[in-house]
A and B are shown apart, each in its own frame.
Chain A
Amino acid sequence: MALPQLKIDATEARIAALELPQGGWADGARRDALERVRAMGLPGTRDEYWKYTDPRSLVQADAQTASLFDGGDGPIFAEIDALKIVFTDGVFDASESDDLSGENLTIERLAESTADLHWARDLYGVLENNGQAPVQRPLAALNTAFANDGVLIHVTGKVEKPIYLIYHHRSENSDAMLHHLVKVEQGASVTLLESGPAAARFNTCMEVDVADDAEFHHVRAQGRDHERRAATHVFGRLGTESVFKSFTLTVNGVLTRNEVVLELTGDDATAHVAGACVGDGEFHHDDTVFITHDAVNCESRQVFKKVLRNGATGVFQGKILVKPDAQKTDGYQISQSLLLDGDSQFLAKPELEIYADDVACSHGSTSGAIDEEALFYLRSRGVPADIATNLLTLAFLAEAVDEIDDEALGEAIVNRIEGWLDRRIG
């Protein structure tokens, strides 16, 4: 079907503002992705998948400016002993980064890797491309075509120290595109951390291949700059008995769309995706998750919690697709919002599509205010109303935060949320 002219124009305008990196092993994948972008067209307001989120500012040729916010407290995981890799406005910053090496690990920059890395060539744009059906994700294909930096992480054994991607935002109109690859070989494991606002507009795509018996843990905290915009994609493929766990904290930001697309291709795999977001005022946060079960006896969990106030908007589109042979699937999905006032709204579209007969899948979505009974109970013990509200808000988010296995990382996340809550006590 031919694309509407408006969509073609918007897509071409965006492409014209970008430069296709050339001269590396990824050239073929980039050209292929560009063709796919042109065939799909970039998202518009009439697209069903963008019904609740206006994509225009993510698509327009130039990024809108976003002023910088200084929380005065440095990177969220600063206390964690990690291998730090820093990007400033979307460009690798060698002077601030650690040495890109470690045991059981090779790390290369996408921008510099001219050698033909077979594993990377077999992954770059591949999971992204797989994830384009049944629903199109044109911003991810755009990223595959044009991302000019990122890291290629190859994990061949257990890596103890987390790898920490820190994204600084220093220029008010930066428009950054990063593409990361993570390949976790059989029996290997790694933890990846990400934090920081990155840019005025940030488009990031990560493809994660988790082999049999391998583990991938991911904890990220999106930056707090109030006016920043981000469209992120995480594509994952899970082998037999592998584990994939991803948690995202979002604090502020005018517009965030986080898509996670996972395919469980090996039996007995486990996939957990969780998110906690807190937003105030001009804040629009969209979690879009698509998990495909294509193997026997796999477990997937989606736990998303949103705290919204002063007219903030939360969106959740989550789907579990169970293919005919994916018997004994255990799928769980919960999305909830806590509306701290009447102006905020939560739009949810939870979906199950099941073609196997022996499965246990459940989903639930709720939206509600602070529990008045609980609030009174706390106040009757002398806890002031604002502190009591904060306690109940943290309690509401706990189910999502508890998805983080590592205690220190969980604490860092809770501290950041507490900071957000405390700043709102007058």
Chain B
Amino acid sequence: MLEIKNLHVKLEEEDKQILKGVNLTVEAGKVHAIMGPNGSGKSTLSYVLSGRDGYEVTDGEVTLEGEDVLELEAEERAAAGIFLAFQYPVEIPGVGNMTFLRTAVNAQRKARGEEEMSAADFLKLIRAKAKELKIDADMLKRPVNVGFSGGEKKRNEILQMAMLEPKMCILDETDSGLDVDAMKLVSEGVNALRSEDRGFLVITHYQRLLDHIKPDVVHIMYDGRIVKTGGPDLALEVENNGYADILAEVV
């Protein structure tokens, strides 16, 4: 599904290399987790994949189902099926949540040459999905993320993901700021989307989330590289012993 080869990224404005040769392949139907100390480059990777400005790819390539991703604009990547659940979802005063999502859904459909979703169908769908995530109707009407609690913002990210049905879901610390019940809700939302033709890249610091969203593969990122890859047990090892042993072994 998603193939990242030897990805090198520096900041556009500064001479600062952040990703230093990331290699990673997420197969369709699989959940890959990325863990790693603060500042190792996890969010940067997720931003570069989703096409944010401000980074320069100095080497390497990224493909989604064989198609070059790095050539595409952010909106084209979204239409191609990449979705990022932000570590820090952005507040947009004055733009209603509903208007925003409907515009997004229909823009993606249009980009793929599909027919727009009618207002009625959209409403029905979003109400059902919102209910599953316990997002009340009032929140849908409010401006995007404005005045939402930390946990509500994260649930709103998952709602967007559920509405947009991307092929490749990247979740950046979606568990941070969630209470125990919300964590379950969000995980159920994610698990409901798990399917044969969809890949997941889940960035997290904690095993907790992975108890709910069971990963197939776990990677450790450090200083801009994937330094170790293993099965679900690797996350347990991090949870129990921290990164010291793992890093001592590989660096």
Q: Which residues of A contact B (CB under 8 A)?
A: 371-374, 376-385, 387-388, 391-392, 394-396, 398-399
Interface pair B94/A395, CB less than 8 Å apart: yes
Interface pair A382/B79, CB less than 8 Å apart: yes
Which residues in A have their C-beta under 8 angstroms from that of B75? 379-380, 382-385, 388
Interface pair B50/A382, CB less than 8 Å apart: no
Contact code string B95-112 (vs A, CB < 8 Å = 1, else 0): 100011101110110010
Cβ-closest chain A residue relative to B92: A374
Measured between C-beta atoms, what is the minimum distance from A418 to chain B in Å? 12
Interface pair A381/B104, CB less than 8 Å apart: yes
Interface pair A399/B52, CB less than 8 Å apart: no
Total A-B pairs, Cβ < 8 A: 80
Contact residues, B33-54 vs A (CB, 8 A): 50-53
Interface pair A395/B78, CB less than 8 Å apart: no
Which residues in B have their C-beta under 8 angstroms from that of A388? 75
Q: Which residues of B contact A (CB under 8 A)?
A: 50-53, 73-75, 77-79, 83-84, 86, 89-95, 99-101, 103-105, 107-108, 111, 143-144, 160, 164
Q: Which applies to chain A's interface (DSSP): helix, strand, loop or mixed?
A: helix
Interface pair A385/B73, CB less than 8 Å apart: yes
Known: A382-B75, A383-B104, A398-B94. A372 touches B51 (CB 8 A): no
Interface pair A379/B95, CB less than 8 Å apart: no
Which residues in B have their C-beta under 8 angstroms from that of A396? 94
Cβ-closest chain B residue relative to A395: B94
Which residues in B have their C-beta under 8 angstroms from that of A378? 92, 95, 100, 104
Contact check: which of B53, B86, B143 meets A377 at CB < 8 Å?
B86
A-B pairs, top 4 by smallest CB distance, nearest first, are A395-B94, A382-B78, A382-B108, A381-B104
Supply 14 further A-B pairs (C-beta < 8 A) apart from A374-B92, A382-B75, A382-B108.
A378-B92, A380-B52, A380-B74, A380-B83, A381-B78, A381-B101, A382-B111, A382-B164, A383-B103, A387-B107, A394-B95, A395-B92, A395-B94, A399-B94
Measured between C-beta atoms, what is the minimum distance from A336 to chain B in Å? 12
Kindly state the separation between the CA atoms of A372 and B93 in the bound complex, as whole angstroms.
Answer: 14
Interface pair B107/A374, CB less than 8 Å apart: no
Cβ-closest chain A residue relative to B105: A382
Interface pair B103/A373, CB less than 8 Å apart: no
Interface pair A381/B100, CB less than 8 Å apart: yes
Kindly state the separation between the CA atoms of A380 and B85 in the bound complex, as whole angstroms.
Answer: 10
Interface pair B108/A380, CB less than 8 Å apart: no
What are 6 A-B contacts with C-beta separation under 8 Å?
A378-B100, A381-B164, A382-B111, A382-B164, A392-B94, A398-B94
Cβ-closest chain B residue relative to A373: B90
Which residues in A have their C-beta under 8 angstroms from that of B99? 391
Cβ-closest chain A residue relative to B112: A382
Which residues in B have their C-beta under 8 angstroms from that of A377? 86, 89-90, 92, 144
Which residues in A have their C-beta under 8 angstroms from that of B84? 380
Measured between C-beta atoms, what is the minimum distance from B166 to chain A in Å? 9
Interface pair A391/B53, CB less than 8 Å apart: no
Interface pair A381/B160, CB less than 8 Å apart: yes
Cβ-closest chain B residue relative to A372: B53
Known: A382-B108, A383-B103. A376 touches B95 (CB 8 A): no
Kindly state the separation between the CA atoms of A385 and B72 in the bound complex, as whole angstroms.
Answer: 13
Interface pair A382/B92, CB less than 8 Å apart: no
Kindly state the separation between the CA atoms of A385 and B105 in the bound complex, as whole angstroms.
Answer: 15
Measured between C-beta atoms, what is the minimum distance from A321 to chain B in Å? 31
Measured between C-beta atoms, what is the minimum distance from A274 to chain B in Å? 15
Which of B73, B107, B164 has the most chain A CB atoms closer than 10 A to its own CB? B107
Kindly state the separation between the CA atoms of A378 and B94 in the bound complex, as whole angstroms.
Answer: 13
Interface pair A391/B95, CB less than 8 Å apart: yes
Interface pair A391/B86, CB less than 8 Å apart: no
Interface pair A391/B108, CB less than 8 Å apart: no
Interface pair B53/A392, CB less than 8 Å apart: no
Kindly state the separation between the CA atoms of A120 and B79 in the bound complex, as whole angstroms.
Answer: 63
Which of A374, A379, A387, A392 has the most chain B CB atoms closer than 10 A to its own CB? A379
Kindly state the separation between the CA atoms of A371 and B195 in the bound complex, as whole angstroms.
Answer: 36
Which residues in B have their C-beta under 8 angstroms from that of A387? 103, 107
Interface pair A382/B94, CB less than 8 Å apart: no
Measured between C-beta atoms, what is the minimum distance from A326 to chain B in Å? 32
